[in-house]
């Protein structure tokens, strides 16, 4: 079967429509992940031991199981207990929780990498807890986190095709429905691959720039 540019032109609008949903899901998922990651990180660091341990286990569990199954769980099991979510929302929550566990690790590492001396100096200069965090710890902890977080953002973007399994009409699902109704797989599937490749090559360059900009703070 030959590559058909006419067919490509025909299906492009539908694919672009799917791409918009893909990007929307990525952005919303990233926002949820950033918040959930923060909650996990705080619970693991400052909550009483039993809660901290439970959170650690939950994080390990979520990281050790496939996102696809978690999506099925949210989409199929929750309605049984009365929580019926639209597909896109279920997908965003799934992405957010899954990548939140990764974000939690990044937050924790970032905060723990601030040298002890900084905490002690803050105490010695009689700063309040709020001032210590806002003016001493976070300004040093956040810049090294940015490239790592961006890395997971790219990873999450690449995982969004999984949302097609719970009927979200994103890029992959649009491509599949085009392929199934025309019985032409080459163009839609290849184009999906090309779209993702272009997006992630662009984001790799962006990531390199972020790394140069933020990763080496202590070398100043």
Partner 1 sequence: MIDWSGYIGLILEGAWVTVQLTLMGSALAVVVAFAAGLGRVSRFMAVRALATTYIEFFRGTSIFVQLFWVYFVLPFAGITLTPLQAGVLALGLNVGAYGAEVVRGAVKAIGREQREACIALNLSRFQAMRHIILPQALPLMLPTFGNNAIELLKGTAVVSLISLTDMTFQAQVVRAQTGSTLIPFATILVLYFVMAWLISLGMRWLERRVTRGLDGVRA
The reply to whether 83 sits near partner 1 by the rule CB under 8 A is no
User: Which one among 167, 204, 208, 216 touches partner 1, defined by CB under 8 A?
Assistant: 204
Closer residue to partner 1, CB minimum distance, 74 or 137:
74
Among 177, 198, 184, 208, smallest CA distance to 23 is for: 198
The reply to whether 109 sits near partner 1 by the rule CB under 8 A is no
| Pair of tokens at residue 110 | 């970032």
Phi, psi (rounded to 5 degrees) for 218: -75, -5
Residue 136 beta carbon to partner 1: minimum distance, rounded to whole angstroms: 31
**Cβ neighbours, 10 Å, residue 89:** 15
Query: Segment contacting partner 1 (CB under 8 A): 8-16, 101-109, 111-119, 161-169?
Result: 161-169
The reply to whether 170 sits near partner 1 by the rule CB under 8 A is no
Span 23-82, contacts to partner 1 by CB under 8 A: 60-61, 63-70, 72-73, 76-77, 79-80
Residue 60 beta carbon to partner 1: minimum distance, rounded to whole angstroms: 8
Residue 68 burial (10 A CB sphere; 0-12, 13-18, 19+): middle
Among 140, 142, 146, 144, smallest CA distance to 115 is for: 140
d(C-alpha 91, C-alpha 121), whole Å: 45
| Pair of tokens at residue 143 | 């810049």
The reply to whether 185 sits near partner 1 by the rule CB under 8 A is yes
Contact residues toward partner 1 (CB under 8 A) are 1, 60-61, 63-70, 72-73, 76-77, 79-80, 158-159, 161-162, 165, 172, 176, 179, 185-186, 189-190, 192-193, 196-197, 200-201, 204
């Amino acid at each position: 079967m030959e590559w058909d540019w006419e067919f490509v032109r025909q299906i492009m609008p539908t694919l672009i429509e799917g791409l918009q949903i893909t990007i929307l899901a990525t952005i919303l998922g990233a926002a949820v992940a950033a918040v959930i990651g923060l909650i996990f990180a705080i619970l693991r660091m400052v909550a009483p031991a039993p809660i901290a341990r439970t959170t650690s286990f939950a994080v390990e569990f979520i990281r050790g199981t496939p996102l696809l199954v978690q999506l099925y769980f949210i989409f199929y099991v929750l309605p049984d207990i009365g929580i019926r979510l639209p597909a896109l929302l279920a997908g965003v929550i799934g992405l957010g929780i899954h990548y939140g566990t990764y974000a939690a690790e990044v937050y924790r590492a970032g905060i723990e990498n601030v040298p002890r001396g900084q905490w002690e100096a803050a105490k010695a200069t009689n700063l309040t807890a709020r001032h210590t965090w806002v003016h001493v710890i976070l300004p040093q902890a956040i810049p090294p986190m940015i490239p790592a977080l961006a890395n997971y953002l790219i990873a999450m973007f690449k995982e969004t095709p999984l949302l097609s399994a719970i009927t979200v009409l994103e890029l992959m699902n649009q491509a599949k429905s085009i392929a199934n109704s025309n019985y032409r797989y080459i163009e839609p599937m290849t184009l999906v691959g090309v779209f993702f490749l272009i997006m992630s090559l662009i984001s790799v360059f962006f990531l390199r720039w972020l790394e140069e900009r933020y990763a080496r703070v202590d070398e100043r």
